[in-house]
Each structure stands twice: as structure tokens, then as C-alpha cells.
Amino acid sequence: MQDIFVTLFGIGKQKHASLMASALALPLAFLILRYFGMETLFMVTLAVSIIGVFEANKYLSQTNIDKEEVVIDDVAGTFMSIMIILPTATALPFSYAPIAGMVLAFLTYTLFALWKPSTIGWMYRELRGGLGIILSSILAGIAGGLLGVVILMSIGKLL
């Protein structure tokens, strides 16, 4: 079960695992938002993050593999980015704005998760185990979300 959770059903063992995990988070977030709401998405993100720290630590200590296989953090980071962007996206006067906002959340989170600038990269490199993995992704989600809000607000000003 731990392997299934941490590697997201084995996605972490594939090529481009981080992108695949983030892409899988989009329909998951859509379903959670549609049927349960933003509060539930927040609680799921919190639960995945906290459990992810402990499970990633156990997984890494038991398997002695590269931490790149741990991709549950990408789900939490993508969810975080979506939660920040979506309120601004829904304020735009387009029927497709929420979907566009979710895609933008994926793109901006992925930018920061792969680039790992500044504090995001420091956390990933210097904090050991699951804590560094999860915190760097949450911070990438926050940075991606804020960038997405700036982009959406700029689009809103142009219209």
C-alpha cells in the first residue's frame, strides 16, 4: 500500500513521473471540487501532505532509491496551485474560465516544480526525506498559484 500511495500507483517509476502525477491530479481535483467543494480539496491536500511526509520517509528508508520516485507531493502541489488560482479564474467572464484556471495551475506548478528556484530548490536539496519533498512541492504550488493569479488578473485587465 505504501508503494501505491507514494509512487501514485507506480507512476513514480515511469519516465516523466512528476508531470504524469501532476496531470493525474487535474481530474482528481475536478471531481473533488465538483462533488465536495473547495474545503474538501483543502482537507485532501492537507492529509496527502502530512501522510506523504511520513510515508515518503518510510519508503525512502526501506528502498534506498532516488527520491524522484516519490510523486505524491506533485498531487499536493498541483492541488495547492489550483486552490490559489481557481477563485480568480471563476471571476473571469468566460464559461470555460475554471477549466482554463485548472490547466494554468498545472502549467505554473510544473514550471516551479521542475525549475526549483530559490527556497523551493533549497528545501528539496537540504531538508531530508519526505519533509523536503513535500514542502518544496507545496511551496512550488503556492508560487505557481500566485503566478497564475497574476496572469489571470492581467488577462482580466486586457478584456
pTM across the whole model: 0.92
Is the pLDDT higher at 111 or at 8? 111
Indicate the domain borders of the chain: 2-158
39-73: string of b/e by CB count within 10 Å (b at 16+)?
eebeebbeebbebbbebbbebbeeeeeebebbbbb
Packing angle of the helix pair 38-63, 129-158 (nearest 10 deg): 150
Using one digit for the tens of pLDDT, what is the confidence trace for 142-153?
999 999 999 999
Torsion angles phi and psi, residue 73, rounded to 5 = -65, -30
Per-residue pLDDT tens over the stretch 14-55: 888 889 999 999 999 999 999 999 999 999 999 999 999 999
